[in-house]
């Protein structure tokens, strides 16, 4: 059975987080017809769950140079300084744009609403520069932008759809559109577009424990790799140091902003331990804090450490962290009176699809913005709250480039429909669920916070076996949402392991016991299909 071409647009945007929605709105406001595809609801992108905020230089005591310097330090020598400066310089304008769209940020105390935004501080930052909406910044941004997108006449939203693969004109290395699986009907549709923006987020569900929702399966990275794009720095997977440890709450993030406002990390006996690892203590970059927690947990054989902000006034805690306070209270934990049990979890993909400062990839007409991309901003470790900033800046860059280039882009030709004539329905979906669990488990055990060559080689062997089994399954049975994600996850796992094996040093988020030194010269790990 085949499925006909059912839709087309000037620009197809895969993903509905901050990158996808802001790019879509900017294009639509310029009169361009856009389709935004979301795996779930339009407001269900990963941005929805971001707590901390957006970094931007808005205080007179702060400076672009200071923000650039903090980013370069956190990136452990691997950032592209031009990309860092490009991003940081455009931060204030992006915040202003969000305010114009109606996003309501927390105001500074004692100031009239709209006069001045409250700025908090997070690990690795030398100044207060984090714009936030209490402790639910992502929700404020996501719901506002999604509401605007849903109402805009130039935006067509396709909810409950999963991108299966990009359609590529291989001789000309040009994108023509994508195949989409409608999760509700099970139908695969062919979608034509002059240009495609990948805004699919990261790949952190490749690990057993993650702060991300289940949709973070590396779809855009895997699709771009199959399409012929270079991928870089995939060994640098960031583990957030503080995820709530509780049997009734899966991977609830405890924002870094708590440490920015004075929360202390402690052992079960009440001893602070971060000063032993770094002079910045709780405000050290995330890779240092995560490794310190991992070290103490292994040294003492404990399942978690404690994050304590109970020494702060209760009213202050409830006002600044209402979501975290209420969630913990619902589990019987009053953070105004007692510490929070926390553990590290996979959180952010620092590498991804190689792009330039216009968000262009190696394939003509194909752009990438947000966590799916490797812009050079993050280097070997992302500075806190630079992620939403990157989404906004490079979505703007992609939109501006497309506004200039679309009039010269040719209409894509008629496309071959998806062919299901030689496949059947699977009666062994247990294979998919079993492989999903096996992949995420050995990636956590062998390619986690601390690595060795022996563990990486074990992971490589298992990835190869799983990949062959998944490819065979993919060829013979009708695709499902979970099979698509599993196929992409095993591709991403292979890229992570290959990159980690190529880096024979320890730098930033990649720490290997076999090569604990840091080389004098930093170089990105670039994989070519």
Instruction: Give, to the nearest 10 degrees, the angle between helix 386-405 and helix 137-151.
Output: 20
CA distance 108 to 269: 37
> Rounded to an integer, what is the distance from CA 243 to the centroid of its chain?
16
Asked if 97 contacts 232 with a C-beta cutoff of 8 angstroms, the reply is no
* Separation in Å, CA 277 to CA 7, 237, 375: 55, 21, 30
SS3 content of the chain, % helix, strand, coil (to 5): 40, 20, 40
Q: In Å, how far are 56, 67, 69, 119, 123 from 127, measured between CA atoms?
A: 10, 8, 11, 9, 10
H or E element at residue 295: helix 286-300
286 is an active site residue:
yes
Question: Do the Cβ atoms of 309 and 317 come closer than 8 Å?
Answer: yes
Catalytic residue among 286, 360, 440, 451: 286
328 near 310, Cβ under 8 Å?
no
319: three-class secondary structure by DSSP = helix
Q: How far apart are CA 267 and CA 318, in angstroms?
A: 24
DSSP reduced 3-state for 488: helix
Q: Which helix (H) or strand (E) holds 150?
A: helix 137-151
Q: Please, what's the b/e burial string for 505-515 (b: 16 or more CB within 10 A of its CB; e: otherwise)? A: bbbbbbbbeeb
Residues marked as catalytic: 286
């Amino acid at each position: 059975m085949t499925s006909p071409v059912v839709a087309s647009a000037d620009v197809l945007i895969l993903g509905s987080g901050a990158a996808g929605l802001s790019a879509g709105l900017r294009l639509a406001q310029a009169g361009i017809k856009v389709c935004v595809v979301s795996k779930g609801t339009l407001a269900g992108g990963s941005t929805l769950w971001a707590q901390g905020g957006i970094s931007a230089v808005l205080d007179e005591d702060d400076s672009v140079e200071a923000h650039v310097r903090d980013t370069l330090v956190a990136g452990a020598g691997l950032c592209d300084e031009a990309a860092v400066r490009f991003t940081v310089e455009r931060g204030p304008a992006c915040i202003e744009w969000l305010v114009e769209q109606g996003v309501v940020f927390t105001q500074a105390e004692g100031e009239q609403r709209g006069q001045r935004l409250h700025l908090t501080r997070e690990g690795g930052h030398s100044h207060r520069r984090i714009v936030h909406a209490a402790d639910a910044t992502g929700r404020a941004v996501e719901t506002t932008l999604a509401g605007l997108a849903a109402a805009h006449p130039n935006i067509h939203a396709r909810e409950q759809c999963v991108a299966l693969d990009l359609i590529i004109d291989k001789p000309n290395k040009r994108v023509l559109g994508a195949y989409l699986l409608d999760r509700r009907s099970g139908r695969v549709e062919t979608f034509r577009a002059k240009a495609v923006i990948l805004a699919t987020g990261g790949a952190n569900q490749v690990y057993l424990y993650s702060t991300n929702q289940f949709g973070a399966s590396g779809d855009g990275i895997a699709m771009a790799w199959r399409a012929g794009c270079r991928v870089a720095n995939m060994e640098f997977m960031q583990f957030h140091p503080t995820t709530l440890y509780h049997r009734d709450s899966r991977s609830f993030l405890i924002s870094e902003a708590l440490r920015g406002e004075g929360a202390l990390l402690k052992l079960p006996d009440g001893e602070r331990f971060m000063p032993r690892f770094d002079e910045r203590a709780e405000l050290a970059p995330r890779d240092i804090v995560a490794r310190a927690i991992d070290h103490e947990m292994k040294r003492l054989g404990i399942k978690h450490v404690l994050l304590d902000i109970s020494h702060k006034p209760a009213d202050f805690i409830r006002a600044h962290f209402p979501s975290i306070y209420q969630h913990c209270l619902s589990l019987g934990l009053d953070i105004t009176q007692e510490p929070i049990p926390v553990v590290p979890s996979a959180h952010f993909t620092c590498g991804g699809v190689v792009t330039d400062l216009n968000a262009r990839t190696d394939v003509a007409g194909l752009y990438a913005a947000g966590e799916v991309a490797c812009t050079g901003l993050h280097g070997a470790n992302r500075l806190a709250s630079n992620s939403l900033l990157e989404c906004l800046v490079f979505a703007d860059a992609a939109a501006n480039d497309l506004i200039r280039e679309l009039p010269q882009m040719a209409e894509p030709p008629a496309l071959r429909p998806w062919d299901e004539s030689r496949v059947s329905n699977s009666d062994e979906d247990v294979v998919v669920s079993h492989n999903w669990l096996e992949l995420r488990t050995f990636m956590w055990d062998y390619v986690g916070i601390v690595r060795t060559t022996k563990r990486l080689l074990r992971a490589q062997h298992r990835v190869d076996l799983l990949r062959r089994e998944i490819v065979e399954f993919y060829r013979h049975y009708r695709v499902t949402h979970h099979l698509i994600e599993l196929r992409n996850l095993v591709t991403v796992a292979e890229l992570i392991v290959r990159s980690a094996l190529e880096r024979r040093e320890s730098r930033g988020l990649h720490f290997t016991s076999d090569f604990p030194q840091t080389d004098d010269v930093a170089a990105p790990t670039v994989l070519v299909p």
